[in-house]
Amino acid sequence: EATITATTICYDRNWNRIGVTIAGSAIGNYGSSLKYLFYPIDIALDNFSNIYISDSGNNRIVKWSQNSLEGQLIIGNINGAAGNLPNQLNYPTGIYLDKINQNLYVVDSGNYRIQKFSLNTTEIPPFNGITILDQNSVFNAINSSGSSFSTVYYDNMNNNLYVTDTGNGQILLFKNDSTIRVVAGGKEGNTKLYYPFGFYVDRNLTIYIADRGNDRIVKWLKNANEGIVIAGDNGKGSNPDQLFAPTDVYVDETDDDTIYIADSNNNRIQQWLSNATDGRTIAGNEHGTAVWYSTGFRWPYKIKFDQQYSLYVTDYQNHRIQKFNLIQNGYGCH
């Protein structure tokens, strides 16, 4: 496990700082052809290392197989046009793959709805989805108007869905009995959320939230009335103890709850050890510089890890998905 002593910090994993483009254009080109992406936001990995991508600017979900030169249309229009039919999307943002039931949950943000698509289907793509949550259902349940959704997580153990209601600064829990309640944010006080985006739910149903507008990561225990700031909250900036508009957080529950942060406006991925007062950059530029070449990003949005602990990053303004291979899986002290 990663450990902290009074004089030494020990990290147990390190990644190659040169990224490999596994979807989209390595030099940042974009378009509506299936060999390009246009403002990708989120990804999901299946058990065969296929990648599902919310190709947001093209209003579609595409699937890229390993070593493929182009994607396969799964949901949306082939020409990238927006729509609101069951097999169409309007600026999809967050996605989540339920590997057990082979369902793909998609935040269809421009249509203010959450769509569920079965991948176990004989349909020819684009697949048809069903709406399981929308603005009206949230308003009717909790009288919360103007909901705008951004990311989604499905809890297989309890058959519950978590959704970021970014516009209202809250995380919603959509239970399997169709009830809806606020489980984080939506409160006044020091830990009120401001334009939250990505989040992570651990085995204890603690929610870790990228509180984008407040430049920090907040931990919200189950049934708590307020959150606990665990990273950032030192003003906007690129110092090691600062974040700038973070959009995603991942928690390594096997490594003392070390967290990984898509520090988007700083164009870097930060690793933040449990109870640490600052983080270190594991991908991108420590000083926040935006670049197109393979060692950096222009607005990294979401992060994922595969079974080999390779790091995947949606490089939003470079219109590509980058992979950073693990090169050390043992102690390295500084």
pTM: 0.93
Domain 12-29+204-333: CATH class, spelled out? mainly beta
Domains of the chain, by residue range, sit at 12-29+204-333, 37-142+152-159
**For residue 291, what are its two tokens?**
């670049």
Rounded CA separation 242/265 (Å): 11
pLDDT string in tens for the chain (334-residue length)? 444 444 455 567 899 999 999 999 999 999 999 999 999 999 999 998 899 999 999 999 999 998 899 999 999 999 999 999 999 999 999 999 999 999 999 999 999 999 999 999 998 999 999 999 999 999 999 988 889 999 999 999 999 999 999 999 999 999 988 899 999 997 666 678 999 999 999 999 999 999 999 999 999 999 999 999 999 999 999 999 999 999 999 999 988 899 999 999 999 999 999 889 999 999 999 999 999 999 999 999 999 999 999 999 999 999 999 999 999 776 555 4
Q: Taking the chain, what is the end-to-end CA distance rounded to the nearest angstrom?
A: 15
DSSP class of 243: B
Q: Which helix (H) or strand (E) holds 263?
A: strand 258-263
DSSP 172-232: EEE-TTS-EEEEEE---STT--SS---EEE-TT--EEEEEGGGTEEEEE-TT-SS-EEEEE
209-229 pLDDT, tens per residue?
A: 999 999 999 999 999 999 999
Domain 37-142+152-159: CATH class, spelled out? mainly beta
DSSP 67-123: T-SS-EEEEE-TT-----STT--SSEEEEEEETTTTEEEEEEGGGTEEEEEESS--P
Rounded CA separation 131/272 (Å): 37
* Fold: same for 12-29+204-333 and 37-142+152-159: yes
105-134 pLDDT, tens per residue?
A: 999 999 999 999 999 999 899 999 999 999
* CA-to-CA separations, 255 to 34, 101, 201, 230, 310, in angstroms, rounded: 38, 28, 16, 16, 15
Burial class of residue 21, CB neighbours in 10 A (0-12, 13-18, 19+): middle
